[in-house]
A and B are shown apart, each in its own frame.
Chain A
Amino acid sequence: MSKESLGGSAAGATRLSVFKTYKLYVGGKFPRSESGRVYEVTDPKGKWLANAPQSSRKDARDAVVAARKAFGGWSGATAYNRGQVLYRVAEMLEGRREQFVREVADAEGLSKSKAAAVVDATVDRWVWYAGWTDKIAQVVGGANPVAGPFFNLSTPEPTGVVTVVAPQESSFLGLVSVVAPVIAAGNTAVVIASEKAPLPALSLGEVLATSDVPGGVVNVLSGNTREIALPLAAHQDVNGIDLAGADAELAKELEIAAADNLKRVLRPQAVDTDADFTVSPGTHRLTAFLETKTVWHPTGSLGASGAAY
């Protein structure tokens, strides 16, 4: 076989690369926005990178439906299983390291070495949360020594469907730092990617799709943050919202809308606006979307014969 027969390019010309069509990730599938809209994504210097889908409120509603559908299975999976799935995400991400270094470098205007450090930290963040899935219940739950003949146990349970407004600056480490704890706790997520740098988030969908994460557990939308976030904050079938990537004005607006069905609201915190996701994450993002269920049961009695050991 001659070299020419392998490719179609004319002799001597440089090969034209194949662009990727960036698409949403909803219900385990990769749809375009139902609105047919896209918007230009550039690097910080203004160089065109891609046309990203500009999600509509209908896309947001579809994502909630997918997330709700996935909630029963994901929240009902064993904590061990969820941990393995999250660890699998880290494995898949490690394998695509080069791709993400390039995408993060483009998205955030970082040097290759700085972008590599971000991607490595992101992989490690998945590993951190993978390990938490089967530990958090013992750390925050337990037996309560009530003053009576009752067995009384408090257990954390996931809140439900959580909207995540991902950080605007830290497009990948920040994104994973807010998404991973939500799903580690057993929730399902509708994620609004960084508006100006959505590409790493959209590519993360490809990693999740090949990591045993059931479809619908994480749904990724790109577009105008406000346009997508408002209907999600007001959505009656969304149970919580993480405002990490909302500015003060939008955060207030979203929090007011969220009060309509008393969503659990995680306000933007200093660490988010500083975009410093390199510090140790702690557990507050895990517990932000956990409910405590307390179950009582009478202990009964063995009678006189049961009194002695």
Chain B
Amino acid sequence: MENLASTFEYAPAPESRSVVDIAPSYGLFIDGEFAEAADGKVFKSVSPATEEVLAEVAQAGQADVDRAVKAARKAFEKWSALPGAERAKYLFRIARIIQERSRELAVLETLDNGKPIKETRDADLPLVAAHFFYYAGWADKLGHAGFGPNPQPLGVAGQVIPWNFPLLMLAWKIAPALATGNTVVLKPAETTPLSALFFADICRQAGLPKGVVNILPGYGDTGAALTAHPDVNKVAFTGSTAVGKEIARTLAGTDKKLTLELGGKGANIVFDDAPIDQAVEGIVTGIFFNQGQVCCAGSRLLVQESIQEELLDSLKRRLSTLRLGDPLDKNTDIGAINSAEQLARITALAETGEAEGAERWSAPCELPTSGYWFAPTLFTNVTQAHTVARDEIFGPVLSVLTFRTPEEAVAKANNTQYGLSAGIWTEKGSRILAVANKLRAGVVWANTFNKFDPTSPFGGYKESGFGREGGRHGLEAYLDV
């Protein structure tokens, strides 16, 4: 086998960068115009695969937040009064322009985020366009959505999104907000601001009225200023549980509506009758998709004791074939970690895993010399008390635990502060239903993992947050119901 693998080496197959034209600097997008920050602050966005500076971006401060919220408030009056069918057409336009520009946006996202082009091209971008297309259709049907005959928008939505799926998270936030007649001030993550700024240009191309969408790049303090702003009516946040709790405290006693999509520690449960090869693919998808930087990642593998050895052998063999490297290469499976900070966090947690006595195995692969990289890693001999079994690592690290009975599997799966996702692998239909029924998680994938769709509600139980994004359910967050 090894001989064969070395005989058939992959030739590099990089996607061309020329499809995207990144300007040396970008402003804030407020009231339909790009502008510098009031205090002139800027920050740099780098490519995590090469540490190359991609662009300099204006950094929004309190004064810019005030200005953007004011613009959104002003735009709200006309936008919310538009017939739903007209709002729908703007969103349909946006969906179509995203489809037209999807190659460009995929390359841009891969450059700014570090994830493989295979994923931005085949997952992120198609889902982004689909999300706008889906919510476009709701804009003139809100009276039929089960929230009363004439549900009303809330006003200005302050939205803060993470760096792991920059454009997709933007779509999850902006599409339902606009469809329901709200206006938006959105803060992209500091490490991945570029696709949101390109989206501003898409709004321009679509002829979206100015002020309806405002984009404010910045750090956590920008997000805090936005969510705390007294003239914001609705806050939507995707990110860490710690920040989510802080936002919940800030909003206490106000009448701002809040939805939170936070961390997870998803259990991927493999029963002894599961088709091993399919389960292995599902485990790989579950934890190594997007370098494991996924809130709903299947980061805890719960494997039935009797098949542990067979499954782990198979899994390690599969992990050894994953190709880590240039995210723009179409054959790349594992891209770069998003930032030096995140890499340091993953590294520290993996070291804790070893220090606490779990057994570490990493796929044998060469890491590039520049950029932020972490080899696919798994831990065995993990107990429920181990840090690597409890804390969200948000990286390509899988913790393996075992169980004997379905009851034990369920108890272990639910033994977490989180409740976002879970996976079940078995050929037995009744067992799928029984186990799915007992899992305290918002999304359960049976014999599949990490599937997403705009029609399918997504969101957590317990400390993974509250509210749902996607589907009819996703409208509720932006309506006065």
Query: A139 to B253, Cβ gap below 8 A?
Result: no
- Binary interface encoding of chain B residues 125-146 relative to chain A, with 1 for a CB under 8 A from any of its CBs, else 0: 0000010000000000000001
A-B contacts, 18 of them at CB < 8 A, read A147-B130, A147-B453, A150-B448, A152-B453, A248-B253, A252-B252, A255-B251, A256-B249, A256-B253, A258-B248, A262-B463, A284-B481, A292-B442, A293-B443, A294-B457, A295-B436, A296-B443, A297-B448
Chain A residues 270-309 with CB under 8 Å of chain B are 284, 291-298
Most buried by B among A154, A239, A251, A262: A262
Query: B245 to A262, Cβ gap below 8 A?
Result: yes
Chain A nearest Cβ from B44, distance in angstroms: 34
Answer yes or no: A264 CB below 8 A from chain B CBs. Answer: yes
Interface residues of A (CB under 8 A from B): 139-140, 144-148, 150, 152, 154, 159, 239, 248, 251-253, 255-256, 258-262, 264, 267, 284, 291-298
Contacts of A298 in B (CB 8 A): 447-448
Q: A152-B453, A251-B253 are in contact. Are A259 and B444 (CB under 8 A)?
A: no
Q: A293-B444, A295-B444 are in contact. Are A154 and B451 (CB under 8 A)?
A: no
Interface residues of B (CB under 8 A from A): 130, 146, 241, 244-246, 248-249, 251-253, 255, 260, 262, 417, 432, 436, 439, 441-448, 451, 453, 455-459, 461-463, 465-466, 468, 471, 473, 481
The distance in angstroms between the C-alpha atoms of A292 and B432, with both chains bound, is 18
Query: A296 to B456, Cβ gap below 8 A?
Result: yes
Query: A294 to B443, Cβ gap below 8 A?
Result: yes
Contacts of B442 in A (CB 8 A): 291-294
Query: B457 to A154, Cβ gap below 8 A?
Result: yes
Query: B462 to A150, Cβ gap below 8 A?
Result: no
Contacts of A154 in B (CB 8 A): 456-457, 471, 473
Chain A nearest Cβ from B477, distance in angstroms: 12
The distance in angstroms between the C-alpha atoms of A262 and B446, with both chains bound, is 27
Query: B241 to A144, Cβ gap below 8 A?
Result: no
The distance in angstroms between the C-alpha atoms of A264 and B262, with both chains bound, is 14
Q: A260-B245, A261-B463 are in contact. Are A296 and B253 (CB under 8 A)?
A: no
Chain B nearest Cβ from A164, distance in angstroms: 18
The distance in angstroms between the C-alpha atoms of A154 and B459, with both chains bound, is 11
Chain B's closest residue to A151 (CB) is B446
The distance in angstroms between the C-alpha atoms of A252 and B256, with both chains bound, is 13
Query: B130 to A294, Cβ gap below 8 A?
Result: no
Residue in A140, A147, A251, A261 whose beta carbon sits within 8 Å of that of B146 in the complex: A140
Contacts of A256 in B (CB 8 A): 249, 252-253
Contacts of A147 in B (CB 8 A): 130, 453, 455
Most buried by B among A239, A291, A295: A295
Query: A292 to B457, Cβ gap below 8 A?
Result: yes
Q: A154-B473, A291-B461 are in contact. Are A296 and B248 (CB under 8 A)?
A: no
| Interface residue SS majority, chain A | mixed
Query: B241 to A262, Cβ gap below 8 A?
Result: yes
Query: B248 to A292, Cβ gap below 8 A?
Result: no
Query: A139 to B146, Cβ gap below 8 A?
Result: yes
Query: B466 to A262, Cβ gap below 8 A?
Result: yes
Q: A154-B473, A252-B252, A261-B417 are in contact. Are A296 and B466 (CB under 8 A)?
A: no
The distance in angstroms between the C-alpha atoms of A298 and B441, with both chains bound, is 19
Query: A145 to B253, Cβ gap below 8 A?
Result: no
Query: B473 to A292, Cβ gap below 8 A?
Result: yes
Query: A146 to B465, Cβ gap below 8 A?
Result: no
Q: A146-B451, A262-B465, A294-B442 are in contact. List 5 more A-B contacts (CB 8 A).
A: A139-B146, A255-B249, A256-B249, A292-B442, A295-B443
The distance in angstroms between the C-alpha atoms of A251 and B253, with both chains bound, is 7
Contacts of B130 in A (CB 8 A): 147
Chain A's closest residue to B461 (CB) is A291
The distance in angstroms between the C-alpha atoms of A298 and B249, with both chains bound, is 40
The distance in angstroms between the C-alpha atoms of A252 and B458, with both chains bound, is 28
Query: A264 to B466, Cβ gap below 8 A?
Result: yes
The distance in angstroms between the C-alpha atoms of A145 and B466, with both chains bound, is 23
List of 4 A-B pairs having minimum Cβ-Cβ separation, nearest first: A252-B253, A255-B252, A259-B248, A146-B453
Chain A's closest residue to B248 (CB) is A259
Contacts of A293 in B (CB 8 A): 436, 439, 441-444, 461
Q: A267-B255, A294-B443 are in contact. Are A144 and B244 (CB under 8 A)?
A: no
Contacts of A260 in B (CB 8 A): 245
Chain B's closest residue to A146 (CB) is B453
Contacts of A248 in B (CB 8 A): 253
Chain A's closest residue to B445 (CB) is A296
Chain B's closest residue to A259 (CB) is B248
Chain A nearest Cβ from B10, distance in angstroms: 28
Contacts of B471 in A (CB 8 A): 144, 154
Contacts of B465 in A (CB 8 A): 262
Most buried by B among A150, A154, A159, A298: A154
Most buried by A among B130, B246, B457, B465: B457
Query: B459 to A292, Cβ gap below 8 A?
Result: yes
Most buried by B among A150, A251, A284, A296: A296
The distance in angstroms between the C-alpha atoms of A292 and B260, with both chains bound, is 14
Contacts of A139 in B (CB 8 A): 146
Contacts of B458 in A (CB 8 A): 294
Query: B468 to A292, Cβ gap below 8 A?
Result: yes
The distance in angstroms between the C-alpha atoms of A139 and B148, with both chains bound, is 12
Chain A's closest residue to B258 (CB) is A265
Q: A146-B456, A248-B253 are in contact. Are A294 and B146 (CB under 8 A)?
A: no
Residue in B249, B447, B455 whose beta carbon sits within 8 Å of that of A259 in the complex: B249
Residue in B249, B456, B462 whose beta carbon sits within 8 Å of that of A294 in the complex: B456
Chain B's closest residue to A150 (CB) is B451
Q: A146-B456, A147-B130, A259-B248 are in contact. Are A297 and B255 (CB under 8 A)?
A: no
Most buried by A among B417, B459, B473: B473
Chain A nearest Cβ from B263, distance in angstroms: 11
The distance in angstroms between the C-alpha atoms of A298 and B424, with both chains bound, is 12
Chain A's closest residue to B453 (CB) is A146
Chain A nearest Cβ from B143, distance in angstroms: 16
Contacts of B446 in A (CB 8 A): 295-297
Chain B's closest residue to A159 (CB) is B461
Contacts of B244 in A (CB 8 A): 262
Chain B nearest Cβ from A105, distance in angstroms: 35
Chain A nearest Cβ from B94, distance in angstroms: 18
The distance in angstroms between the C-alpha atoms of A298 and B427, with both chains bound, is 12
Residue in B246, B260, B455 whose beta carbon sits within 8 Å of that of A144 in the complex: B455
Chain A's closest residue to B247 (CB) is A259
Chain A's closest residue to B253 (CB) is A252
The distance in angstroms between the C-alpha atoms of A262 and B249, with both chains bound, is 10
Contacts of B253 in A (CB 8 A): 248, 251-252, 255-256
Contacts of A150 in B (CB 8 A): 448, 451, 453
The distance in angstroms between the C-alpha atoms of A139 and B29, with both chains bound, is 40
Chain A nearest Cβ from B50, distance in angstroms: 34
Chain A nearest Cβ from B260, distance in angstroms: 7
The distance in angstroms between the C-alpha atoms of A258 and B245, with both chains bound, is 9
Chain A nearest Cβ from B137, distance in angstroms: 12
Contacts of B463 in A (CB 8 A): 261-262
Residue in A148, A239, A255, A267 whose beta carbon sits within 8 Å of that of B453 in the complex: A148
